[in-house]
Amino acid sequence: MRVPLSWFSDFVDTGLSPRELAHTLTMAGLEAEKITTIGDGWDNVFVGLVARVEPHPDADRLVLATVQAGDHALTVVTGAPNIASGQKVALALAGARLYDGHVEGQVLKTLKPGTIRGVRSEGMVCSEKELGISEEHEGILVLEADAPIGAPLAEWLGDTVIEFEITPNLVHAFSILGIAREAAALCDKPLRLPDAPSLSAAPTGPADLVTIEAPDLCPRYAAVVIEGVTVAPSPPWLQRRLLAAGLRPINNVVDVTNYVMLEWGQPLHAFDRDNLAGGRIIVRRARPGERIETLDHQHRDLSDETLVIADAERAVAIAGVMGGVDSEVSNRTTTVLLESANFAMGSVRATARAQKLRTDASARFERGIDQNLVLDAAGRATRLLLDLCPGSRVAAVSDVYPRPVLPREIQMPFREFERLLGVRLEPETVVDALARLGFGAEIDGDHLRVTVPTRRGDVTLAADVVEEAARIVGYETLPETLPTGETPPVRRDSRHRLSRDVRDTLVGCGGFETVSYVTLHDADVACFADGAGVGFLHTVPRDGLLRLRNPIQSDRAVLRPTLVPSLLEVAAANLRHESGVRLFEIARTYLPSGDTLPSERTVVCLAMAGRRDPIGRFGSDDRRLADGDRHPTDDGHLDFFDLKGSVEAVLDRARVAVRFEPATHPALHSGRTAAVLAGERRIGLLGEVRPDVAAALGIETTRVAVAELDLDAMLDLREPLAGVRIPRFLPVAQDFAVVVAEATPAASVEAALRAAAGPLATSVDLFDVYRGSQVGTDRKSLAYRVVFTAPDRALTDAELVKVRDRIGKTLKQRIGGELRA
Amino acid sequence: MATSVQHDLEELRTRALADLADAVDAPAGEIWEKTYLGPKGELTLFLRGLGALPADERPTAGRAGNALKRELEAAWDSRHRILAAADLDQHLAADAVDVTLPGRPPTIGAAHPVSQMIDELSEIFALLGFQTVFGPEVETAHYNFDLLNIPADHPARDVWDTIHVDLPGEIVMRTHTSPMQARVMEQTEPPVRVVVPGRVYRYEAQDASHEWMFHQLEGLAVDRTITMADLKGVLAELARQLFGPNRRIRFRCDFFPFVEPGVDFAVDCAICGGKGCRVCKQTGWLEMGGAGMVHPKVLAGVGYDPAVYTGFAFGLGIERMTMMRTGVDDVRAFAGNDLRFLRQFAGFA
Ligand SMILES: [Zn+2]
């Protein structure tokens, strides 16, 4: 809502600067978004009088104008078609900063004196566009006759416009008068209402002038018939106010309806009465199949829930939204039927949405306008029209208003102010604050009786009254206290705690946490799908995927059942400038549940790719060399085993016991994929992404390893922390090199070792994998260090020899393995 | 004692001490020790040769020899220490490094700034007696709007540009964390004190200050005596925890359908101390979020008697808090996940 202060100050003198006024209103709930000054740059622009216009000696389209400003008379060369002697114009002198009238948009340039076709031009007569008032640049701006010659233009035409954001509850302030009323209340200054004569003395129209057939959607309809109207452009002052407020002037009749809407907040409409069949207004629901061509020249189908204004034959306007072309006011119009009416907010809103047509009128009606505003606004518009069209007269007035709205009464205990605000307000303070807003307020014992003006439909409860008083008194007086009373127990959320533990662990493992968008690209859906469905750890049948109806990007409509594609996208983007990435995210996946809402399962997703150590400035790294003993294929790039190491660290931290088994997934490397199993429950999946899938996602140069773990499952599976005593006796470490067939999984070897070693073995760690001539083809040697500890004694050599024998036998029986000496 | 023996001993002493003084490094010292004190050293041999002396000379010569032995051993001991220390110094000098070279980097990542801020807020509010709870991101219009006094046919709904989920009924991506107000109150008897962090979604074009997915933290306190002054106190405490001990809070009247009175709250700009600067756009204040007293219709909607209970609620933007504290000026960076952005938060909080 743009408020030109020249207009605003018709109604109140606040004594505040524009900036102070904007601040005061902002603090009270009317947020000022922008302050613009019209005429800010009009140095060297003055009001001039065109004394004489002569043809240019050397050009048909140009004229020489002699323009008088103050004591000087200057010669100006111009091509303006509308210039004439006797006009008051805006005269710019050299050095003035003006907008270029001949290019699109607003481009500032500085005026220099120049010679045009041999005649020196000492200044310029400006168009509205050149002054930055409007886009109009065909002709020059012609000022009112009483503009003072020689005065700086800014003094005559300058203005300040404050733009307010009007929250949906503030329909009473959706007008210049409404905002002036707020300002008057806040500054405790009187409000001057505009001249709006009562229409009650006007001749009443025929009984059937207005018929309301849908009183549920139209509680009030007033029509004023004005004869003898001459349709013409509005006077400059009116045009300027509309322009400053952001509306384009059209003609005096339409401009008056817009002017009053901006001033009072009551939308009006003007019909050419001669084009209304029967000269009547019928307010009704649209008939089946009924259509209308609206003023924007769209042909619109109307539903039977659309409220229309009709004449005796057809719909002539969509009520509260837009008029129709058939009854539009034109240059030939002489009799106007002025509509000032109230329409049900829900109906206007539904219609505007259905027609995808939001207008200044619908934006006001859908917030619920005061029904008692109708006749005031009609009176104001009538006064303006009669002033603008000498010789016109009111022929008939009809106001159909079967159930007038009366002011609401609110009875409330006075202590309600203290109960909500936490501070005691003096009764006089409250009564005064409410009175300034136009509320009636009476103290009655320990109660307050409030009479709410009908324009304040938003004030219905005691809490609303408290807010009204508080915003006038100001919130800065509110003390700062802390809640008293019983504090409910604060319980920690176990999922949040586990998420934090997992996050800490992964950060310690070198991971960077991401927060990625929750939708999948259609291409991801294809990569992560097989016959069973789409997903990673959790899969969803293709037709069960959750989709957004209005996604931000149409090819990203699927709510993700897995985080993996999101992390791969982040990895791909980062690999453009990073040599290696370790990423993770803890977030929801969205799975169909059969219930009203989907199931949101929290998962931990990891992705790794590229070089393990981004900067190798220390040359060979001991840790990496040592690791090479276990993973001989290691080449310094992150791979399955880096990923698995982090996954194991997470599961250790969460105290969830798992095993890893070979698995498959359509997007993963068939030989480097494992499922994470807790008992028979699959709680995770990890592997290296197939190179073709990675390439499709934009990663071609390196291996990419991804994992997803079900955090909610981990929460169910956490084992208690078993306290372990530090043994009194020193541990004994022994190495076992086990030769097995190449196909035997390490997990089987370790399981057999642990089973045979029994409870004395307190740790079993693989430290070398060897393949080569010493063990023969298709065989490998896995070297384990087993640490034996007895809680109650020092272990003897004899005991250890026995254990070694048992291990040898068990390995042979279970997995055909042999101990190497 | 025969003069010759005494003379020999004196000569040995003089020579040994002179040699020891000449031993300038550890190897020379080792040779000296071997030469005089070793098993075949001169003094050892001398002492061993005492047996050949006449019996009456032996005790005197033995005492003199042993005294010399103790003297040389003591001299060796102190000399040896000096030589060993010099030797170690030499080794250390050879082992010197350029201490201005960067350290060997451990592999450590970083938590996302949003997680860090959520954890920090959760911790601050725990100290104030607020429990952190979480709610669904996919939400019914009933919780997201209706129970928050935002009816379907009301223009207030337009304030939240909503992303709809293709499911039966009106299912939306929650537009704020506020639906948990109703969910928590439905499940609990007052008193209630909770904060709800989480992702929220808006159908909104992205730019430097708008994201379609971001994070909020909702706060709710309901009891018999909760007041707006309590709200101001709690938010002032929050502002001071986050932005420094001298911060002040300002309430401005604003409209949110689920609170009455409703305000937005701002903290005075720590950079300019409220005088006005580029960061606070010359206003001296930085907007933190929206707040107010829980609307009586919201209380009644979950079965709380608004005549008995009052409550306050507030909402903060998590990204916004981080931006205010760190000077990050583009909200899109948070879901951008560029490591060059994320890396700087390794040391944050
Ligand atoms: Zn500042």
Whether A616 shows a pLDDT value over 60: the answer reads no
Q: Which of B34, B63, B94 is the last residue of a domain?
A: B94
Residue B330 distance to chain A (closest CA, Å): 15
**Mean per-residue pLDDT, A275-296:** 94
Whether B240 shows a pLDDT value over 90: the answer reads yes
**Mean per-residue pLDDT, B283-303:** 95
Q: Which of B94, B124, B151 is the last residue of a domain?
A: B94
Q: Please state whether beta strands A322-323 and A315-318 pair in parallel, antiparallel, or not at all (unpaired).
A: antiparallel
pLDDT interval class at B107 (50, 70, 90): confident
Domain count of chain B?
Answer: 2
Q: Regarding predicted confidence, which is higher, A393 or A69?
A: A393
With CB atoms and an 8 Å threshold, state whether B229 touches A421: yes
Residue B62 CB contacts under 8 Å (≥ 6 apart), including other chains: B47, B50
Same domain flag for B35 and B117: no
The answer to whether B110 faces chain A, any CB pair under 8 Å, is: yes
Peptide bond into B261 cis (omega under 30): yes
Considering the domain boundaries, does residue B107 fall inside one?
no
pLDDT interval class at A634 (50, 70, 90): low
Same domain flag for B192 and B310: yes
Note every long-range contact of A285-290, with CB atoms under 8 Å and residues 24 or more positions apart, other chains counting. A285/A213, A285/A214, A285/A217, A286/A315, A290/A314, A290/A315
Same domain flag for B240 and B319: yes
CA of B330 to the centre of ligand 1 (A): 18
Nearest CB neighbour to A548, from listed B104, B166, B188: B166
Helix axes B26-36, B3-22, angle to 10 degrees: 170
Same domain flag for B184 and B143: yes
Same domain flag for B9 and B151: no
pLDDT interval class at A156 (50, 70, 90): confident
Considering the domain boundaries, does residue B149 fall inside one?
yes
**Mean per-residue pLDDT, A357-384:** 94
**Mean per-residue pLDDT, A311-328:** 94
Residue B89 distance to chain A (closest CA, Å): 26
Longest dimension (CA), chain A: 129
Whether the model clears a pTM of 0.90, i.e. scores above it, the answer is no
Considering the domain boundaries, does residue B102 fall inside one?
no
- Give the model's pLDDT for residue B249: 94
Same domain flag for B28 and B131: no
Considering the domain boundaries, does residue B90 fall inside one?
yes
Nearest CB neighbour to A515, from listed B228, B229, B335: B335
> What CATH number is associated with residue B263?
3.30.930.10
The domain in which residue B21 lies consists of 3-94
Considering the domain boundaries, does residue B103 fall inside one?
no
Same domain flag for B89 and B128: no
* 3-state secondary structure (DSSP) of residue B196: strand
- Chain B contact set for A423 (CB, 8 A): 227, 229
Cβ of B19: how many Cβ atoms within 10 Å? Answer: 14
- Chain A contact set for B133 (CB, 8 A): 493
**Mean per-residue pLDDT, B240-257:** 94
- Give the model's pLDDT for residue A485: 85
Same domain flag for B172 and B302: yes
Dist. CA B319–CA B325, nearest whole Å: 10
Same domain flag for B137 and B74: no
Q: Please state whether beta strands A307-310 and A336-342 pair in parallel, antiparallel, or not at all (unpaired).
A: unpaired
Dist. CA A788–CA A764, nearest whole Å: 9
CA of B286 to the centre of ligand 1 (A): 8
- Give the model's pLDDT for residue A632: 63
CA B187 to chain centroid: 36
Same domain flag for B54 and B179: no
Alpha helices in B145-227 (DSSP H): 179-187
| Positions of B marked active-site | 160, 176, 202, 216, 259, 313
**Closest residue by Cα to residue A713 from A684, A683, A755, A690:** A683
**Closest residue by Cα to residue A96 from A153, A145, A139, A137:** A153
Q: Tokens representing A358?
A: 């939001």
- Give the model's pLDDT for residue B124: 96
* 3-state secondary structure (DSSP) of residue B345: helix
Dist. CA A663–CA A707, nearest whole Å: 12
**Residues 140-159 (B) with a CB less than 8 A from some CB of A:** 140, 153-156, 158-159
Q: Tokens representing B23?
A: 């031993």
Nearest CB neighbour to A480, from listed B140, B204, B229: B229
Same domain flag for B63 and B128: no
Considering the domain boundaries, does residue B140 fall inside one?
yes
CA of A23 to the centre of ligand 1 (A): 17
Whether A70 shows a pLDDT value over 90: the answer reads no
DSSP B276: -
- Give the model's pLDDT for residue A487: 84
Amino acid at B3: T
CA of B284 to the centre of ligand 1 (A): 5
Q: Which of B35, B59, B94 is the last residue of a domain?
A: B94
| ipTM of the complex model | 0.88
- Give the model's pLDDT for residue A630: 67
With CB atoms and an 8 Å threshold, state whether B155 touches A349: yes
- Give the model's pLDDT for residue A191: 95
Considering the domain boundaries, does residue B326 fall inside one?
yes
């007569």: which residue's tokens?
A125
Considering the domain boundaries, does residue B106 fall inside one?
no
DSSP annotation string for A182-251: HHHHHHT-PPPPP----STTSPB--TTSEEES-TTT-SEEEEEEEES----PPPHHHHHHHHHHT-----
Task: Give the rounded percent of residues in chain A with a pLDDT score beyond 90.
Answer: 70
- Give the model's pLDDT for residue A724: 77
pLDDT interval class at A621 (50, 70, 90): very low
Same domain flag for B274 and B310: yes
- Give the model's pLDDT for residue A623: 46
Peptide bond into B191 cis (omega under 30): yes
**Mean per-residue pLDDT, B180-196:** 96
